[in-house]
Amino acid sequence: MTEHGPQPVERQLPTEEARDLIALVRELAAREIRPHAAEEEAAGHFPRELFTLLSESGLLGLPYPEEFGGGDQPYEVYLQVLEELAAARLTVGLGVSVHTLACHALATYGTKEQRAEHLPAMLGGGLLGAYCLSEPASGSDAASLRTRAVRDEGEGAGWTLNGTKAWITHGGIADFYTVLARTGQEGPKGISAFLVPGDAPGLSAAAPERKMGMNGSPTAQLHFDDVRVADDRRLGEEGQGFSIALGALDAGRLGIAACAIGVAQAALDEAIRYTAERRQFNRPISDFQGLRFMLADMATQIEAGRALYLAAARRRDAGLAFSQQAAMAKLFCTDAVMRVTTDAVQLLGGYGYTADFPVERFMREAKVLQIVEGTNQIQRVVIARHLAGPESRR
């Protein structure tokens, strides 16, 4: 904390290009995202125009190959962009993370022909994606999913999908969906991945869920009623879908961790500003040791979380195993944002409980980050399995 309030996060970036990228994102966030965040969240407005702008600015495909329209940026850089976006508005930061997750199966497991046909529009052509794994009866136990894809025989052979997906971010508004469906036996080995167009006949969305926070980001069930998909839209091998999903979630959990630190940083910045300006007993309340210690603890948790997600990202960039580290980062960062935003509300007192200040929104939004892409209880299961050795991970 300085005399003039919080300063922008000083980032360690590997290249001049990355530093320019962060500067661009901060400018865009200050001009286009942050000024409208509170009003649009209160109105439940999804900022599709912002995602079009992000696509035109090259920010929807940052970690993917340049030859297919991506930005060829390391995860270390991409995640810091997510943090900046989420600090301005979680609906935007999380939306970019979900879109990146939706592109993962095609970018990683698609054939060269599939990638050349679809990826350029997905990464830089203004399209928006969604990821469909969870179902009403299979959340944490994702391998028990029931949505089924049956192979069609004869001319124009492909697949017909039937079932319901639940808790789908961008459900009903996405241009494409990466869908995990059962094509064979029970359990994880009977699941395959498909790229389904958003306007496919037979695909419909329920009314968006009524949520505690992130009201600008639609979350809805998707219904597949005899949705036909061409065989060249199956991603990877038949039966490979669950391993594809797990690989995507490892990377996606790092995105959630970065978004969590972005929201936490925004809450800390607001708390620093308020406590420097608010006066009681003829002094700024930031002069009182009890409040200073709260700010110090908040800042420490944020810095630790940032270091943890960046360490995991660097392992990914180096081609090392990072599943355990991704689970640790998601667990720590999302628990930290819940603590930090709760403390921010406390520091603002009665004002913190009102919608006139953003910390009450930050607190409501923080909660979902402990739930999405594997609850924090599931993260502990993942971490414990790694600690117990390979036998326990079968």
Q: Looking at the annotation, which residues are catalytic?
A: 373
82 in Cβ contact with 93 (< 8 Å): yes
Angstrom CA distances, 285 to 40, 64, 281, 296, stand at 31, 47, 8, 14
Rounded CA separation 7/107 (Å)? 37
Triad 14, 124, 91: Cα angle to 5°? 80
Alpha helices in 235-375 (DSSP H): 241-277, 289-317, 323-348, 359-369
Q: Which of 110, 16, 121 is nearest to 60 (CA)?
A: 121
CA 365 to chain centre: 13
Q: Which two tokens stand for residue 367?
A: 């909660």
Contacts of 391 (CB under 8 A, 6+ apart): none
Whole-angstrom CA distances from 178 to 106, 271, 312 are 9, 39, 25
**C-alpha closest to that of 236 among 187, 154, 181, 199:** 181
Q: How far apart are CA 364 and CA 380, in angstroms?
A: 23
- How far apart CA 309 and CA 306 sit, in angstroms, is 5
Amino acid type, 385 = R
Separation of alpha carbons 126 and 58, rounded Å: 10
